[in-house]
Amino acid sequence: MDLDKALRISARGMEAQTTRLRVIAENLANQDTTGSTPTADPYRRKTVVFENQMDQASGQALVKVKKVGRDQSAFPQKFDPSHPAADKNGYLRTPNVNSFVEVMDMREAQRSYSANLQVMQVTRGILTRSIEMLK
């Protein structure tokens, strides 16, 4: 495999995981964001969808973010009649963000990012040694 291709593949993987980490951070930051009225929706969890994309220049399949979507699962409810966004029965719709799921997704994204970074570092080392041998 051409070393340039390895660098390109790793860089695209790192870009995709960076987007994923940014979306996870947004989800965690808004996990307590409710609506301001009983009819207003609370924050809806965002998700990232990846897809393979053929790079015409290198002939390699690269990963890219296809879209940042919204999780359409139901909003959990909790009893809080004093909240301004509570309905007539005293229930408040809360965001559909599960911090445990977000932290697990974050760890997976971090590991994927680190793996791609390791590939880039090894490839750079190979290139450096090759240049030194040519001197």
Per-residue pLDDT 10s for the chain (135 aa) are: 588 888 889 999 999 999 999 999 999 999 999 998 888 999 999 999 999 998 887 788 899 999 999 999 999 999 999 999 999 999 999 999 999 999 999 999 999 999 999 999 999 999 999 899 988
Whole-structure pTM value: 0.86
Buried residues in 25-44 as b, exposed as e (16+ CB within 10 A): ebbeebbeebbeeeeeebbb
pLDDT of res. 10: 93
β 60-70/46-55 pair status: antiparallel
Q: What are phi and psi of 33, to 5 degrees?
A: -85, 110
Look at residues 3, 5, 74, 17 and name the one whose alpha carbon lies nearest to residue 48. Answer: 17
Compute the distance between CA of residue 15 and CA of residue 100 in angstroms, rounded to an integer: 24
68, 47 contact by CB (below 8 A): yes
Q: Is 16 exposed, middle or buried (0-12, 13-18, 19+ CB in 10 A)?
A: buried
pLDDT of res. 3: 84
Q: Is 87 exposed, middle or buried (0-12, 13-18, 19+ CB in 10 A)?
A: middle
